[in-house]
Amino acid sequence: MPTLRCVSTELRNRVIGSCTHYLWLAPALIRLSGPISHTSHTNTASIRLSQRSYRAAILIIHNLITIVELTNRVFVLTSFALKVKRFKMNYPANIRDKLVVALDVPNRAAALGIVEELSDLAGMFKIGSQLFTAEGPSLVRDIVTSGHRVFLDLKFHDIPNTVAAAARSAAGLGVSIFNVHGVGGVEMMRAAADAVSAFAPDRRPRVLAVTVLTSMNSASLSEVGITGGVSSQVIRLASLARAAGLDGAVASPQEISLIRERVAAENFIILTPGVRPAGSESGDQKRIATPGEAIRLGADLIVVGRPIIAAANRREAAQRVLAEMAGGM
């Protein structure tokens, strides 16, 4: 059975084709009318016929142009309606908007394939170091231009001036979120916040501070000279991020409640990686939770990569994640 899009496209093509076919009438009528002479020898009836033919030609051109314009408008409106309908499928927007699918793949083709496949199931797509190093900012622009939100996960960590410049570049790409390492300090984080503040509110990306990677635990922190445990470090860095004017923090599900209690109960985004659907392998993640648990604890956004993109059926995998998320609301 033909879809509405197919019917709309076929209708537009047929109307434009028919209009093009009948456009030959206009120049034919103009040629028929010939030059209008106003000499005394000119037959009055011939002049009137020429004038009528000329006016008829102009009217044909005008009407055909109007038909083509209206047909194109109908096509655009139909396409927009279909897009809206697609985004209303299956799950409420407030659930889908919380799901960030990690494009942890090696190249453009693989990334765009996932975006196309999951465009109605994910609220945002994450581009990290692997994909950005392989394909660069052009891929980010292409995905943003296609109407999708992007989380640029490059974890900027450098001197304040360099991070500020990187922040402006990220904002210029049109990304919705990017992050910096909280251990870069207040001055560095404030530089990132100030750099994007010049952008209009509807174009300004949200800047989040990475607290402690979900692949680390207390033993990992001790190896690099950080004592006091994971929770203490997360709260310290999330507090510094808020003081620096950042919009939120990246933290594992295990620290969500602590951040809500001790840093900010609201107006502070918590983006949560380390999310694994029930029954999934944890891989190299050490501090994890299920999608439902992360949402129930208060995560604003959850990042899911391998359990979706490595699945035999990505759409089914994404739908299972959304179902678990809905259970945590």
Radius of gyration of the chain (CA): 29
pTM, two decimal places: 0.71
Domain boundary among 59, 87, 115: 87
Both 25 and 159 in one domain: the answer is: no
Both 155 and 13 in one domain: the answer is: no
Both 98 and 74 in one domain: the answer is: no
Contact 36, 50 (CB under 8 A): yes
User: Residue 211 has which token pair?
Assistant: 């607290």
Phi-psi region of 226 (alpha: psi -120 to 50; beta: other; left: phi over 0): beta
pLDDT per residue, tens digit, the chain (329 aa), is 343 344 444 545 554 555 555 555 555 545 555 554 444 444 555 555 556 665 666 676 666 666 656 555 544 444 434 443 333 334 566 899 999 999 999 999 999 999 999 999 999 999 999 999 999 999 999 999 999 999 999 999 999 999 999 999 999 999 999 999 999 999 999 999 999 998 988 889 999 999 999 889 999 999 999 999 999 999 999 999 999 999 999 999 999 999 999 999 899 999 999 898 876 666 666 677 899 999 999 999 999 999 999 999 999 999 999 999 999 87
The 3 state secondary structure assigned to the chain is: CCCHHHHHHHHHHHHHHHHHHHCCHHHHHHHHHCCCCCCCCCCHHHHHHHHHHHHHHHHHHHHHHHHHHHHHHHHHHHHHHHHHHHHCCCCCHHHHCCEEEECCCCCHHHHHHHHHHHCCCCCEEEEEHHHHHHHCHHHHHHHHHCCCCEEEEEEECCCHHHHHHHHHHHHHCCCCEEEEEHHHCHHHHHHHHHHHCCCCCCCCCEEEEECCCCCCCHHHHHHCCCCCCHHHHHHHHHHHHHHCCCCEEECCHHHHHHHHHHCCCCCCEEEECCECCCCCCCCCCCCCECHHHHHHHCCCEEEECHHHHCCCCHHHHHHHHHHHHHHHC
Both 157 and 295 in one domain: the answer is: yes
Active site residues: 155
Domain count for the chain, please give it: 2
Both 107 and 240 in one domain: the answer is: yes
Both 49 and 133 in one domain: the answer is: no
Both 73 and 202 in one domain: the answer is: no
Domain boundary among 87, 122, 146: 87
**CATH number of the domain that residue 207 is part of:** 3.20.20.70
Both 104 and 184 in one domain: the answer is: yes
Domain boundary among 49, 66, 87: 87
Give the residue numbers spanning the domain of 20.
4-87
Both 124 and 249 in one domain: the answer is: yes
Both 25 and 107 in one domain: the answer is: no
Both 241 and 266 in one domain: the answer is: yes
Both 113 and 8 in one domain: the answer is: no
